[in-house]
Amino acid sequence: KLQFLYFIGAPMTERVPKRSLSLPSVKDRKGDETGFAAGERASAGKDVASVVRSVKAHFKNSIIARDGLFVILYRLNEEGGRDWFVRFIHTKGGGVPLLLAAMDYHLSDMVFIETASQLLFSLMHYGGKKQIRVVQKVVKKGGSKLLLNILNFHKAVNAKIVQNICSVICTVATVDQKIGAVSRLSGGLATLLTICKKSNKELIIPASTCMLALVGKCPLNPPAVVKKGAVPLLMDVIQKTLPTRQLPMSVRITCKLLLLLARVEEGASAMVKEGGVMTMFTLLDHPSAGVDLQKVVLDTLRCLADNADGARHFESLGGTKRIVDIVMNSNSEKNGGSLLDITMHLFRFHGVTELPIHQEQEVSFNYPFEEGNTYDSGDITAFTPELGVRRGGRVPYEHEHDTASHVRLFVDPMASPSCPSVLKYTPDDTEPLYTQPPNLLNNLVLHDLKRLMEPEHLVNAVVYDDIDRTIPEELNPRKCVEPVLRFSSRFESGNLKRAIQIYPNEYDLILNTDMNSAYHSQWFYFAVEGMVPGVEYKFNIINLEKASSLFNEGLRPVMFSEKEFTQSGKGWHRIGTDVAYMRNAYKRRPPLPRDVERAMSADKKRFKKKDCPSTDAEKAVLVSSVLRKLENRSQGSCFTLTFKGTFDHEDDMCYIAYSYPYTYSDLQSYLKHLPEQHPNLSEYFTNQVLCKTVSNNNVNLLTITSYKRDDGTPYSQEEIAARKVCFISARVHPGESCASWIVKGLIDKLLDSSNDDSKYLRERLVWKIVPMLNPDGVINGNHRCSLTARDLNREWSNPSQVVSPSIYWLKGLIKHVKLKQGRDVLLFCDIHGHSKHRNFFTYGCNAIKKNAAVTPALVLERVLPRLIKDETSTFSYDSSSFKVQKAKESTGRVVVWKELGVRLSYTIEASMMGSDRLLTKSGRLMPGHFQTSHYMDIGVAFLQGLKPFVCSDSDPSILRLGDVVHQLITELTGCAASTVASRRPPCAPATPDDDEDEDEDEDDDDDDDDDPDEDDVLFQYDG
């Protein structure tokens, strides 16, 4: 026994090797294994279940049970401990519930509780996503109250127990919303105060940290803690540390706790009586006070300044002016994020948190939700015209009602921009990425700080609103300083909500969120005129949402000048200096009642599929759930894109945009003029209306395939039906305008009658292309959603004919072609833009498991991206990913792959910025911005990469396909494949359901963009 205990309890460096131990296999009179026998077996690498069974069998024997816990604790720290951790928390009839029951039974046994609390602490801090399971089980089994009882019982006996239990309670508090009330009623808060009063340096930090986690969990806790004398105690802790050169960790925790207490009237009054204002000023000016501590102190001072007595003390010590001086002097040597962080907090200290606009005054669109209001597109077989009866001259779609239906209630709408969005203009050479000056962020922060320090120099005048809005007196347009820029976004795809003149040549710009939504503000497109040539203007777009952006990596906006185009033919080009993207002080607006109503209405169809809430209580729970989701979404700050620009011409009209615009009218104009460019277009092209949107705009469906041979004789219906079908879609997210340029390049290539490859692809494939899945969003300047506030790329699992008609009819068409007509659907590809990564890349559906046998059939999905990589230097195969994440299970790529069995199902992602490897006219590779020609070229490269998939066995391209397969197998296995039965991989689609491996333990990822580095795989082939 002593040998075993020594082995378990000794430091890691002193432990005897396991194999040198010869522990006795002791058995009791009933023949059951004791904890020591279980320990021996565990040390020999046996199952964790044997230890749990031993502890369970000798539950009331604290010595044997404790030894079993020792074994588990030791094994967790050994190699292979992860496996023990997973098995322990999933052990049936044991694991965490057994540990809690044992702790409850042996509550007064100090030695047992010390071991058990150490094990519970290790389980909760083991790392990985599975540790949340431990916390959830503790909460579910009533562990919160037990932990507080243990703390009450052992508060003055064992420091190790107090440390472990306090740490465990802090972790449990992140999940258990009721633990705050339980801690007050059970005396836990009083116990923690008692521990703090003893001034034990070893316990002050864990006790105060635990109190911090509990006090904020219930609104009744702060007043209760104040009544028990917490404020004098905590103030004394801080005041004792002020003379020291280096503030201890306990000060930061104590300040956070005081901030919670200062938010209630009793706490603020108590702090003022204890000299809290002076103490906070002194602490703010302390040489070792970091940015995080200063932020807490500023928040506390703001709470104290709301108290009548505190306000007098605050002003007598210098007020806000002294606050700004102290903070900026102490942070003058800082740069980058730290300086930005404390400056934004200063703005919030001064109450600058709300965007300068009434959020309630927004444009809305009332869309139908009744199931009877469907959009009839006729028989779905009409969308396979290649199998129709008519063979002669096929007449392309006649453009009726193809003008954009715009729903924004503009006071004085403009016509479509006079700038030709689809202009094929290519700059003389590569447009390099922008390099920020060394101290740009510091200079921008200090410049913004002048708004607080020198408010008398601000203009603060509204110079543009897209609709009539109430303008407060502090933003009165009469204050503007001439000459003032004139803004507008009252045109198709335009997005600018308000422009405010801050200084004579600086403007804050606010964008519209997506229609019927409180979120998604990223796409911008506006016009400006009235500029003075040669004057540098600064633009700040202040309500962007994404936390990171390529604008900090060299991306610049694009601009079109009417006069420049008229005089020199120069089209869209990159502009901007001092380009930066950074967080600001403005908070996203909280959800309004109408936001909840819209969210409820948008999900009406989903609720009908379940048991629809009928009682008032059920409806209240549903409303609460929706409101909580919206509140979580509204948390966080807005972000600012700032850039400067100079204009060369007087009386010019200039358009500035996030990326090269491509509007709905551009698409309709392009399709309308195709017959002029291709005289024989009707022999291989058909344009139809797939459906109407909720705003009555057309969703075009293009069919491209050869109807006739070279000699003019038509192909038979059977010959065309035998061709594989490829589905292409784009612009499901309106703000990703580059997707339209890619589709344009792809269509131009397919329609090229003089190109042999184009003819080859038309004769062997049927192309079904939906160039704009979300025309409503494109027309109205949305960034991500449709007019129904839905992300249409999350509607594929169960699309609604009412809310998401384009997805409903496209999915129905793919299903009809594959399942009803029995034709071979070779490929589905949805084209997107990406705001966080460079280059072009793809997302596919086939994550190969570790140690899986890699075969030609298994690497099929990776072949096409590899072939595209060989076609262009701007495509990054390394950035491509083939994982299928839980958060993406309702996207088009995953649904078409999993539900419809199309293995070659991809998303092509195009960087909104550019590439690391752009080919210049001089022949060298360099980083640079993408131009419209680059986007169109990737469409061509995609077709070239697909060609080997449909070539005949005698075509040389088949060898290229085999070589790529061989290379992929070599890379994935780490060694050359010895034999490959066929150099051409089988293209017959496999049923994904037979090969998937769902990892149910992974968490959802709610990020807007797919991320190649995410690990939450939902489905993957196991080889």
Active site residues: 909
HEC letters along 38-105: HHHHHHCCCCHHHHHHHHHHCCCCHHHHHHHHHHHHHHHCCCCHHHHHHHHHCCCCCCHHHHHHHHHH
What's the distance, Cα to Cα, between the start and end of the chain in Å? Answer: 49
Q: What is the 3-state secondary structure (H, E, C) of 865-877?
A: HHHHHHHCCCECC
**Which residues, at least 6 apart from 464, have a Cβ–Cβ distance to it below 8 Å?**
486, 487, 488, 496, 498, 499
Q: Is 616 helix (H, G, I), strand (E, B) or coil?
A: helix
Q: Name the residue with tokens 């303008």.
A: 471
- Going by C-alpha positions, the residue among 546, 342, 297 that lies closest to residue 442 is 342
Angstrom distance (rounded) from CA 133 to CA 12: 28
In 216-290, which residue ranges form alpha helices assigned H by DSSP? 221-227, 230-241, 249-262, 265-273, 276-284
- Give the Cα separation of 284 and 22 in Å (integer): 62
Q: How far is Cα 915 from Cα 660, in angstroms, rounded to an integer? A: 16
Contact 662/831 with Cβ under 8 angstroms?
Answer: no
Distance, CA of 332 to CA of 314 (rounded, Å): 24
Q: CA neighbours within 13 Å on the CB side: how many for 1021?
A: 23
Q: Which helix (H) or strand (E) holds 292?
A: helix 291-305
Neighbours of 398 (CB within 10 A): 8
Q: Which helix (H) or strand (E) holds 180?
A: helix 179-185
d(CA 346, CA 322): 12
- State phi, psi for 525 to the nearest 5 degrees: -165, 110
621 CB neighbour count, 10 Å cutoff:
12
Q: What is the DSSP letter of 193?
A: H
At 757 the three-state DSSP class reads helix
Q: Which residue has the tokens 């006739």?
A: 708
Helices (H), 816-947: 860-871, 892-898, 932-946
Strand partners, 540: 508, 642
Q: Are strands 765-770 and 724-730 parallel, antiparallel or unpaired?
A: parallel
CB half-sphere exposure, 470, CA atoms < 13 A: 5
Task: Find out whether the peptide bond into 413 is cis, omega within 30 degrees of 0.
Answer: no
Secondary structure, 3-state, 681-699:
HHHCEEEEEEEECCCCCEE
222 vs 263: CA distance, rounded Å: 9
Of 296, 275, 829, 833, which is closest to residue 522 (Cα–Cα)? 833
Q: Which residue is listed with tokens 């699992």?
A: 797
**Three-class secondary structure of residue 247 per DSSP:** coil
Answer whether 806's CB lies under 8 Å from 773's CB. yes
Strands (E), 523-570: 525-529, 536-544, 558-561
Nearest to 238 by CA among 213, 255, 221, 224: 255
